[in-house]
Chain A
């Protein structure tokens, strides 16, 4: 899983901004602040992306498209809001076609301030987002590693006694027991 941390891929969407912060994101991929040496590529495909980078105050026409993009991304995922407009609405706060800030619609993990945000600040924000993302992956990967050990123990026992092994049934029983246990014990947040 450390392979994924070494090269996260980015999806970038502009929700109605003035293009200032978008130019700084493109300048990040230029030679002076080189972000491709960390393994980050700007691909336009939501099914292959790990980090969603949003700019601009959300206008009423783009909020439906933003939600569809967010739901098409696979778990675990992180959202970074770049610029003063994406954090709280910026200069356009309380204008008639603007929702104030991205976090009225999507849970946001990192806020990067500035008008326009500097490329060094954007790099700091992405580094923070990568640490949060590591914590999230540990929560979702627990299931396979824990179940794998129990499965190997059971299969070894059955082979020693000479019984017929039905692998699918064993995995199905283990997973359903694990999920029921997780649902019953309350999580202390």
Chain B
């Protein structure tokens, strides 16, 4: 018989910047039962979008559901409404949307990798990653006007154009960034202490990932081939050179390597966009009111995002529903804790890259 203890992982913690509550029941430092409490961040956005806010202004309220995947919410909503109004955006606007979205994916993945390294105790690597992430933030500020929360997409195209001076600055900074990315990949593959900390910890077998419908790098690190960019045709990804990245191990090391390789593929896509940008308008006028139902599936940096929109011919929509990727990953998290060591808990939670303000909007 061992010692039974109840340990709370409360809503204010120095490891996580978000409020979430777990209550663990441990016996001799091995976890036997978990209670998950999500819902500190519920603000009532869907109800307000159905009663008070018109369908044009919802495009500026919805990115404030989450600050890390903000442009994914923006683009998914706009594409769903454009399907209702039967309008197709001009080609230059589509390429500019891909540019902004892939830059956002780079800075979100760098942030997630820095957070995992901090949980392993490697502060030197955290500071190097933050220094190189600042290059990406400067690029985004020149393109859209703000570092976080870019209000870039609008119904009918994008809000701002890419001028030649901005393009010169972008090329200079992205060249510096690419050399540093190759150096980081070497460190993550071959470093001795990181391999000891991360290999064999928090393993998700392939059957569990398929049974519980995991999404994003969590599923692709366990061998499941799922990615919304390869299946749907909302933006021209296939002609820009997109490839899916899959690893078979299923532990924390494999999830980090999936994110690292996705960064290099995003860099390649950005160079293709800058070299082959077509001429034309970046914004057009759209007429008509939304009537009917439409659905959009999109790939956010953390998994698959799903939007359902229904309108009745008036300014205010009748129904809007959002399904976020972290919401599908939480049952896997609960199954993974049972039988693990208590000291591994912060590393496992942070390697999932949770975005809890998306989960309970």
Contact = CB atoms under 8 A, between A and B. Distances in A.
Nearest to B138: A32
A23 B68 contact: yes
A21 B18 CA distance: 12
B331 interface: no
A96 B127 contact: no
Contact of A14 (B19, B47, B130, B134): B19
Contacts of A18: 64-67, 70, 357
B99 to A, nearest CB: 21
Contact of B43 (A16, A20, A69, A118): A16
Interface stretch (B34-42, B242-250, B290-298): B34-42
Interface stretch (A57-65, A101-109, A127-135, A164-172): A57-65
A96 B46 CA distance: 11
Nearest to A96: B44
Interface of B: 11-14, 17-19, 39-45, 47-48, 52, 60-61, 64-68, 70, 111, 127, 130-131, 133-134, 137, 146-149, 355, 357
A115 interface: yes
B11 A19 contact: no
B349 to A, nearest CB: 15
A30 B131 CA distance: 7
Contacts of B60: 91
Nearest to A11: B12
B127 A59 contact: no
Contacts of B66: 18-19
A97 B19 contact: no
Contacts of A14: 17-19
A20 to B, nearest CB: 3
Given A20-B67, A92-B44, 16 more contacts: A13-B12, A14-B19, A17-B67, A18-B70, A23-B17, A23-B148, A26-B17, A27-B130, A30-B133, A32-B134, A56-B41, A59-B43, A61-B39, A69-B12, A91-B61, A116-B67
A91 B62 CA distance: 10
A159 B131 CA distance: 65
A92 B42 CA distance: 11
Contacts of B148: 20, 23-24, 116
Nearest to B47: A96
Interface of A: 12-24, 26-27, 30-32, 42-44, 56-57, 59, 61-62, 65, 69, 90-92, 94-98, 115-116, 118
Contacts, number: 112
B350 to A, nearest CB: 13
Nearest to A97: B44
B61 A19 contact: no
Nearest to A115: B149
Contact of A97 (B11, B13, B43, B111): B43
B149 A20 contact: yes
Contacts of B18: 14, 19, 22
Nearest to B12: A13
B159 to A, nearest CB: 16
Contacts of A13: 12, 19
